[in-house]
Structures are given as C-alpha cells and as structure tokens.
Amino acid sequence: MDILLGLALILAGFYMAWNIGANDLANAMGTSVGSKALTIKQVIILAAVFELAGALLFGSNVTGTIAKGIVPLDKIIEISPLIVTVGMLAAILAASFWITLATFYNLPVSTTHSIVGSVLGFGIICVLYGYIAYSDIHWSVLISIVASWFLSPLVGAVLAYIIFYIVRKRFLVKSENVPGVEKKFIWLQVATACFIAFAHGSNDVANAIGPLYAVFEMYGYGGLGPLTLSQILLLLGAIGIVIGLSTWGYKVIDTVGNKITELTPTRGFSAQFATASVVLAHSFVGLPISTTHTLVGAVIGVGLAGGLSGVNFKVIKNIVSSWFITVPVAAVTCMIIFFPLAWFFL
C-alpha cells in the first residue's frame, strides 16, 4: 500500500475519532456532570477506560458492517485494491468534512449517518464505473441500518419512559425526602455514565475506523502480539475519541452539564441507562446507530413521563431533517472527493 495513502487514512480516521469524542461522547457524558457527582477530569478518566473496553470487547461487529456490510469490497478488490483504498479515503474525508461543517453550524448531524452515507457514495461510484452491479450493493443491510436509525430513538424514548415511570412511582412520589432520593441516584448515574461510555465505544468507534479496517485487512495486515488487527484499530479509534474528549469535549461537557440543570440524577439515570442499553443491543447485532440521537429520544421519553417540565420538539424536526440530508450529502461529497483522488493515485 502507498505509504501516503495509508498515512492519510490513519489521519482522517483519527480526525473522525477526535470529532466523535469532542462532540458525541461529550454530550453523553455531559449529562452526568450536571449533578456534580463527578468532576470533568474524573469523567474523562472514566470515559477513557470504558470507551476502550467497549471498543475492544464489542466494537468489531459494527466495524465489520461499516467496512464490508454495505459495499461488496471483495468484488472491487479483485479489480484493484487501490480503488478500495482511495474509495475508503474519500469516504472518511467526506464524512469528516460534513461533520466539521455541521459542527460549525451546530447542526444535529450524526457521525454514524455520515460515514454510512459516504461509504454508500463510494459504492455508487463503483456502480457508475462498472466495478460492481447496482444490485451488488447490500441494500438489505442498508435498509436495516436506516430502519434502526428511526427505531433506536423510539426504543430509547419508550425504555426511558418506562424506567423513569418506575423511578417516579417507586421512589419520587412515595418519598418524603426527594433531595435524599436524588442524592442516592447520583451514584447510579455515575455507573450509567460508565455504561454509556462502554456502549458508545462498542458502536461509535467503528465510524472512525471502519474504513481503515477494510483497507488494512485487505492488504493482509495482521495483529500485533495478542491483539488482532481489528483490536489494534479499535484501540487507535478509542484513543482518538478520548483525545477528542479531553481536548475539546470538556468544553461541551461543561456547557451541557451546566445548562441542563433539569436533568437531575433520577432523570439522568433513566435517560442514560435507556440510551446505553439500546446502543449496546445494536452493537451486538452490528448495526451502527447514533448515540446522540438515541439519547435525545431517551430524554424526550423522560420528559413525556413527567420528568422534565418541558421539551422542545423542534429539535426532533431538525434531527429528522438531518437524517434526510446527511446520507445524500455525505454520499455526493464522497463521490466528488473520489474523482481527484482517483486521478492522482489510480
């Protein structure tokens, strides 16, 4: 493999990981800081440990889906492995570009949706060049992924609704000392903060390293010592995410933690537990979903169960719009980036 291409891939993957840590993981962890149970430093340490554990233990399923689940890379490799390398670089650059733009304008765009969209863009390029047939793209997998994007916030909302309903009935309503109940839930919230970092590691690290895995595996790079190639890349992605969290994410944590005073420990626990459960379940079946969007669904669930004085449903409109925009935009951007790269490297 061309060293320049390999380096570009690693850098782009690392940038994606940084962005995921700086925004998505920071949001998920920020909901634990409002209760003042943990300092930002402690949050970063906990997130690092559990993000790594989640990535290493359960991250390979989703990585496999992003790397090879959507586009039949084996068929393209037969024509030229360089096409796959350039395609994956274009995909990761397109996703990074779109994520950067979205972050600049505070748009609720998902890194998962971006990378899936851009990998699909590469698939369409291959169809246009005649490397594969249109029907070769694994549309059924793509449909499952997209369906899970709709389903995951809904399931998150229902689960959070049920959890908070139980917490409210069993503890808040019956208690003579509500602040005492909230205090006890602080530690449960700390535990769910670890759970959410673990779940995030199991699903979102793949967004950054999925394309890298596809390429490095294709060139036959093996593991290192006891670690397999997938584990090495997952480790790399998780480190990138933790660096993102500690270099920029702490600002997001601080903003989210200080602003969302309404998400008391009982409410935070319900939303985080529901989110982490839904995300982890998707990691088991290898479906890449958005942790942030699931968290939004869960927060709405807590709100509907009476946990919040109010929720702004405008954000749902924005998120749904972002679903419809992200995939085509990322796909088209990937196609646009592919042409100059192909001209240069192929």
Partner 1 sequence: MPHRYMRSILNIFVDSPMDALEDHSKKVVETVDRLSEMLDQYLEGNCSRTEELRQIIDDLEHDADKMKQQFQMILPNSVVIQLDTNDLLDFLKSQDGIANIAQNAAHWMTLRPPEDIPQDVKDELCNLMKMSMKCIHGYENVMKDLEKVEATSYSKTEIQRLVEKIPAIEKQEYEVDMFEIKVLKTLFEHENEIGGAGVYHIVRLIDNIGDIADQTAHSVDILRKILIKKT
| List of residues contacting partner 1 (CB under 8 A) | 23-24, 26-27, 30-31, 102-104, 106-109, 168, 172-173, 175, 178-179, 182, 251-252, 254-256, 259-260, 262-264, 292, 295-296, 299-300, 303, 305-315, 317-318
For residues 144 and 255, which CB has a smaller minimum distance to partner 1 in the complex? Answer: 255
For residues 73 and 197, which CB has a smaller minimum distance to partner 1 in the complex? Answer: 197
Residues 6+ away with beta carbon under 8 Å from 287: 62, 65, 144, 145, 148
**Which candidate, 258, 254, 255, 297, places its Cα nearest to that of 276?**
297
Backbone angles phi, psi at 224, to 5 degrees: -135, 115
Q: SS3 for 307?
A: coil
CB of 299 to partner 1, least distance (A): 6
For residues 41 and 259, which CB has a smaller minimum distance to partner 1 in the complex? Answer: 259
Residues 6+ away with beta carbon under 8 Å from 300: 153, 157, 160, 311, 313, 316
Kindly list the distances between the CA atom of residue 282 and the CA atoms of 42, 97, 155, 335, in Å, as whole numbers in the listed order: 27, 26, 11, 28
CB of 83 to partner 1, least distance (A): 32
For residues 204 and 217, which CB has a smaller minimum distance to partner 1 in the complex? Answer: 204
**Which candidate, 203, 200, 202, 299, places its Cα nearest to that of 249?**
200
For residues 132 and 276, which CB has a smaller minimum distance to partner 1 in the complex? Answer: 276
CB of 264 to partner 1, least distance (A): 7
Phi-psi region of 138 (alpha: psi -120 to 50; beta: other; left: phi over 0): beta
Residues 6+ away with beta carbon under 8 Å from 147: none
Do residues 84 and 77 make contact, with C-beta atoms less than 8 angstroms apart?
yes
Tokens 């702004």 appear where? 312
Give me the residues paired with residue 227 across strands. 224
CB of 226 to partner 1, least distance (A): 36
CB of 263 to partner 1, least distance (A): 8
For residues 222 and 306, which CB has a smaller minimum distance to partner 1 in the complex? Answer: 306
CB of 72 to partner 1, least distance (A): 32
Tokens of 134: 């249109």
CB of 88 to partner 1, least distance (A): 24
For residues 75 and 317, which CB has a smaller minimum distance to partner 1 in the complex? Answer: 317
Residues 6+ away with beta carbon under 8 Å from 100: 19
For residues 75 and 169, which CB has a smaller minimum distance to partner 1 in the complex? Answer: 169
d(CA 63, CA 313): 32
CB of 82 to partner 1, least distance (A): 34
